[in-house]
Amino acid sequence: MREHLGFLKVSSAVVKVAAWIFLFLGIVGGTSLIFGLVPGNPRWMGAVILVFYTFMFFFFILIAKIADLLGRVINEIKKE
């Protein structure tokens, strides 16, 4: 398991960056729909987009936290 520790650290960082990108794009897209900047789409769809991208943000952050925790567990097992 020790050889996978680098992969866990890198993948955790990549997933955290992806989570923040999802949140930023969700906020931009959702607010533009809510304020009516996108013609042809109902305004309530902006709220749906905000909720969806917020959920994806927390989901990706949770995955990254699990990867960090797994890395810590592997380090603790190695110390013993």
Domain ranges of the chain: 2-79
Predicted TM-score (pTM) of this structure? 0.84
Q: Is the pLDDT of residue 58 over 90?
A: yes
Question: What is the 3-class SS of the chain, one letter each residue?
Answer: CHHHHHHHHHHHHHHHHHHHHHHHHHHHHHHHHHCCCCCCCCCHHHHHHHHHHHHHHHHHHHHHHHHHHHHHHHHHHHHC
Helix 44-79 × helix 5-34 angle, to 10°: 170
pLDDT in tens, 22-34: 999 999 999 999 9
pLDDT in tens, 6-15: 888 899 999 9
